[in-house]
Chains A and B, each alone.
Chain A
């Protein structure tokens, strides 16, 4: 079944029909989520009651639009805060890791590399509970020993940031290492010969070369952080990020406000995703 080998027309059509059906299957859930954000009804379901933008801008109950729904706007802020720090830490550590793995040879490198990949194969829920258990026992020990309170180690945003950071860093490391491997070290040597310091050469030659990968991994980190649910669920305190707020609302019964938030999320994530691909392709 390749283009150069003729196939019966019937088989070809069946195959095409299957591929089409598959893409409909892929698009269907997202399409209905988007469409019902504009339905003038208090339930995200048929019948279609007419087009409205009330679920975005509405101010009167029950049509309170997403931009006027305090709890959702606040959780978007929380998510953005978490995503910013996760991305900043993950990219910084990821860049250091890339230099370590690409530029240095040392005993135990293979072992360390394997350990670095481990977060990929640990289920998110387990990552969450292990950090929860560990930080709570550290907090208990410290509180018993000093008599002070250590709220930062109790479920809350700090733990959410640490939990997401713990596996997103692996992705950042892989993306940045891949780019650093393609770097020609003679460029850096030339800079050194021309009198640059080691740090100066890295800052002016190597880091600009890495920039597309750094930006791409920062974008991917923000995306993964925004969407993370499993790890966050176990570590969340009183300030909940967007996915947790939406989950709670969904369990209570859904209104088209959730569709409106989802539509915004779809647009933002598609834009970020395309952006990250653009930056990753820029390297070729």
Chain B
């Protein structure tokens, strides 16, 4: 009887997770795929085919935007790593106790705040009548107002800002676990700062680097606010294109195909990143 009851308990626990995953994750994605391979041939009449995907490859605007989004996301990821690594190293290795907690908290606070607010802050700083332009004029470095918003550099600044925490946190965690005596031993054996970095610190931090890069790349690829608000009207970002197809053009078939392509790219990067580093999804993502 006891086992019957625990059986029942098990099914009661299984029900909500299955309901959640099947109804909100699995079925919607199957539905999305089915819509992406249907072509409209008349009002409420559809045919199965790959025309939407063909449209993506034949229309340069579409695949170029896709490539641009991917390349800029890769650049943002690299930049985040380069800028974030020294900070993570500083927090993990050169500070102790209270200072460490404070610095870590200071890193985290901006990320509890809505991305919209952060982006708004950058708009106030960078625009033609903005703070930086005014300060430069005041200092006499420029003659007239300078517009720093609405270009790719502004997007890059925003993307790095938005995702740097997701690089710093895993890096601090892995660097924390590196024993200082290993670095000391490196110096004792005649290593230079550069060679120790290359042969001891970076190999040890690799899991953190990989999981940080995966998360940052995904966040940049799927970002909508930063490219739209900081990049202005002419800036093309693939999520913006998906939004246009869905909400403005009401062409859900093409929009679904776009969505699937974005999902495929992001999954591919996660898969390759995990494969390359020999980590599993649970290890990388399963840390709250």
Interface positions of A (Cβ within 8 A of B): 1-5, 7, 15, 18-19, 22-23, 25-33, 36, 43-47, 92-93, 96-97, 99-100, 104, 106, 112-126, 129-135, 137, 162-163, 165-166, 169, 171, 174-175, 178, 198, 223, 226-227, 229-230, 233-234, 243, 246-247, 250-251, 254, 258-259, 262, 265-266, 269-270, 272-273, 277
Contacts and interface: CB of A to CB of B under 8 A. Distances in A.
A115 B247 CA distance: 29
Nearest to B9: A198
Q: Point out which of B112, B281, B282 has the most chain A C-beta atoms below 10 A from its C-beta.
A: B112
A15 B31 CA distance: 52
A176 B89 CA distance: 30
Contact of B121 (A30, A119, A121, A135): A30
Contact of A262 (B14, B117, B184, B222): B117
B155 interface: no
B121 A117 contact: no
Nearest to B89: A1
A254 B16 contact: no
Contacts of B242: 125-126, 129
Given A2-B93, A33-B120, A226-B114, 18 more contacts: A3-B93, A15-B86, A33-B121, A43-B129, A45-B134, A113-B282, A118-B25, A121-B270, A123-B266, A124-B222, A126-B262, A132-B246, A169-B20, A174-B287, A227-B113, A229-B114, A234-B247, A273-B112
Interface in B254-275: 255-256, 259, 262-263, 266-267, 270
19 contacts: A5-B187, A22-B87, A29-B161, A30-B118, A45-B134, A100-B14, A106-B10, A121-B270, A122-B263, A133-B252, A198-B5, A223-B112, A226-B114, A229-B114, A230-B222, A246-B116, A247-B116, A250-B120, A254-B120
Contacts of A135: 28
A207 to B, nearest CB: 14
B134 A250 contact: no
A114 B282 contact: yes
A254 B129 CA distance: 12
B125 interface: yes
Nearest to B188: A5
Contacts of B203: none
A29 B113 CA distance: 11
B124 A131 contact: no
Q: Point out which of A133, A178, A223, A269 has the most chain B C-beta atoms below 10 A from its C-beta.
A: A133
Query: 4 closest pairs, A vs B, by CB?
Result: A29-B121, A123-B222, A273-B112, A130-B28
Q: Point out which of B116, B129, B180 has the most chain A C-beta atoms below 10 A from its C-beta.
A: B116
A133 B262 CA distance: 16
A2 B94 contact: yes
A230 B32 CA distance: 17
A133 B184 CA distance: 58
A3 B97 CA distance: 14
A227 B93 CA distance: 33
Given A44-B124, A93-B16, A269-B114, A123 B161 contact: no
Given A2-B180, A132-B246, A273-B109, A25 B161 contact: yes
Contacts of B9: 198
Interface of B: 5, 9-10, 12-14, 16-17, 20-21, 24-29, 31-32, 35, 83, 86-87, 89-90, 93-94, 103, 105-110, 112-118, 120-125, 127, 129-131, 134, 161, 164, 180, 183-184, 187, 193, 218, 221-225, 229, 239, 242-243, 246-247, 252, 255-256, 259, 262-263, 266-267, 270, 281-282, 285-288
Q: Point out which of A22, A121, A243, A258 has the most chain B C-beta atoms below 10 A from its C-beta.
A: A121
Nearest to A129: B259
A44 B286 CA distance: 41
A231 B281 CA distance: 23
B224 A266 contact: no
A120 to B, nearest CB: 5
A134 B286 contact: no
A22 B83 contact: yes
B125 A29 contact: yes
A166 B282 CA distance: 18
A137 B35 CA distance: 10
Contacts of A100: 10, 13-14, 17
Contacts of A26: 106-107, 110, 161, 164
A28 B125 contact: yes
Contacts of A198: 5, 9
B246 A129 contact: yes
A227 B115 contact: yes
A168 B110 CA distance: 20
A270 B83 CA distance: 24
A118 B20 CA distance: 12
